Structure formats: structure tokens, C-alpha cells
Amino acid sequence: MVRLLGAGAGATAPTGALGHLTSDPLGFGYVWVSTTAVLALLGYIVGTQRDALQRVQQRKDELAEYVVHDLRNPLTVVKAEADLMAAGLGPPEDLRECGRSIQRAANALMRMVANLLDIHRSEERTLVASRSEVRVLGMLQEVCELARPEQQLRKLQLNVVAPPDIDCVRADPDLLGRIMENLLDNSLRYSPEGGEIRLELKAVPGAIQVWVKDQGPGIPPEHRQRIFEKYVQLDGPSRTGRGLGLAFCRAAAEAHGGRIWVEDNAPRGSAFCVEIPSEARALARVS
């Protein structure tokens, strides 16, 4: 028998038991440690780490698959239109339209890369909003102008609505502009031909809100949080959420201390809202 010091008067361990004496970190002497318990604990730790590594690898594989999927479409457009231009087929106006298609696809690729980088910065807590005075109404109009070719192709109505007493907001102009671009791109993608998209600017106590409302398929309430996660696959006929645009919008809004959410746009469609808090409050209209 082996006496266990610090384990109570007269406490002993059976001779031949699998284990060893180890110093007690509380300073009571020595305690008996079962080898079986140690092995079980080590097995649990190793198993947990193995499972965590497998989940990380799975996420990496999924990310690679989705990035390749999203890159394929604009790259296909670039190659097809470039082939037509290189062949010199068609009148000059057709070739100019090829150039515009390439430009739109290149812009989509640049936005995708920027979104991916900023989402990574957000996850590393290094995405910071560099605030300055931004003419938000003018920014909305510029974003709509960039989307004009797609709007005309889909025969969509694109309207900007803003009260007369709001013009400027203190925010990061790059992040805020890309939030608007991504939300508008999302609405363009899912809006039915001939539908309407409304961009609305509102002032609420302590904050500025930018709404993007469309007439596309709605988003069920149970999916309205998940839609802002990276590469979410949703079941059913609603928007899949596949991509990085909405995930970036959430990261950029949170970098301002703000938030983003989606509601129904009665009688049909979705209404996305990004809210920039009082740190980026509205300023008086600049003449």
C-alpha cells in the first residue's frame, strides 16, 4: 500500500495500482493520479483537437469551392467578350458593348476580392472605419449610375428617395459606398424584369438609415440572420445568400458600430436596411 500525503489521514492507494504520485499544486503534499484517467484525458484532448482541425479543413474546402464558383461567372464573361473583340466581329457599337461587359465583370471581380479581404479583417478585428464627411445622397446616385446598364437590361425602375434636410453623414466613404453597391447588386440579381428597386435615406433618433427595397423573392424569417453569413445555402425558392456581399455588408456596418437587417417589402420582396449610429450622425445639408 502507498500512503497518499495530503489526501486525508490514513488514505492509501492499493499496491500495484496503475498510477503515480505527483506534487499537489495546492501545496498539500502528493496526490495519486490514475494512469487510466490520464490516458482518458489525453485521448479526449487529442480527439477534440482532431475534430477542430477537421472542421477548419472543411471550412477551407468549402471556401475554396465557393470562391471558384463565384469567380467563374465574371471570368467567363470576360473571356467570351474578349474573344469577340479579338475576332473583330460586328460593328463598332457591338465591340463597345463587349468592352462595357468586360468592365462590369471586372468591377464584380474587384468587389468580390475586396469583400473577401475585408471579411477576413473583420474576423481578425482589424477592419476599422475611417470616418469623414460623406455626401450620402450623392453617393446613392453614383451607385445607381454604376448599375444603370444592368438596370436597363432588366427593364427595372431604380429610384432614390431622400428627405430634403439630409445630405451628409460621417462614415468611411469606401466601406459605405461598397455597402450600397453590394445591397443594390443583390437586389438587381433577384428582382423580376420590369420591377422596381427603391433606395431610401432616412434619419432616425441617433442614426442614419439606408434602405434598399426590391420586389424579388422574400426571405423567410428563420433565415434572416443566416443570410448575412458567408456562403450560406438556404433551402427553398428564396434567395440562396450564396456569396460574400451580404457578409461584407454586416462586417462594414459593424465596423461603424452599426447594424444591418432585412424585412419584408410588402406586398412582395425584401427590404434591407443598414443603420449608421450617432457617431456618424446626419449633418445639415451643404448647399
Cβ–Cβ under 8 Å, residues 253 and 276:
yes
pLDDT value at 61 more than 70: no
The x, y and z cell numbers of residue 136, run together, are: 450620402
- For the chain, the average pLDDT equals 77
Out of 61-65, 227-231, 235-239, which region has the weakest mean confidence (pLDDT)?
A: 235-239
% the chain with pLDDT above 90: 22
| SS3 assignment, position 165 | coil
CB contact at 8 A, 168 and 139: no
- Residue the block writes with cell 441617433: 206
Could you state, in order of their start, the residue ranges of all structural domains in the chain?
133-283
- The predicted-structure confidence for 189-209, as pLDDT tens digits, reads as follows 889 989 999 999 998 988 999
Long-range contact set of residues 65-69: C-beta below 8 Å, sequence gap at least 24: 66/231, 66/242, 66/243, 67/116, 69/242
Per-residue confidence band for 281, with pLDDT thresholds at 50, 70 and 90: very low
Per-residue model confidence as pLDDT tens digits over 110-134: 877 777 778 777 777 778 888 899 8
CB 245 within 8 A of CB 185: yes
Asked if 193 contacts 82 with a C-beta cutoff of 8 angstroms, the reply is: no
Helix axis angle, 136-146 relative to 173-190, nearest 10°?
40
Q: What pLDDT does 284 receive? A: 34
In whole angstroms, what is the distance from residue 42 CA to residue 19 CA?
15
35-49, 58-72, 205-219, range with greatest mean pLDDT: 205-219
Q: Where does 133-283 sit in CATH, by number?
A: 3.30.565.10
pTM reported for the whole predicted model: 0.66
Point out the least confidently predicted range of 151-160, 186-195, 225-234: 225-234
- Which is nearest to 239 in space by CA: 249, 251, 224, 252? 224
Q: Which of helix, strand or coil describes residue 63? A: helix
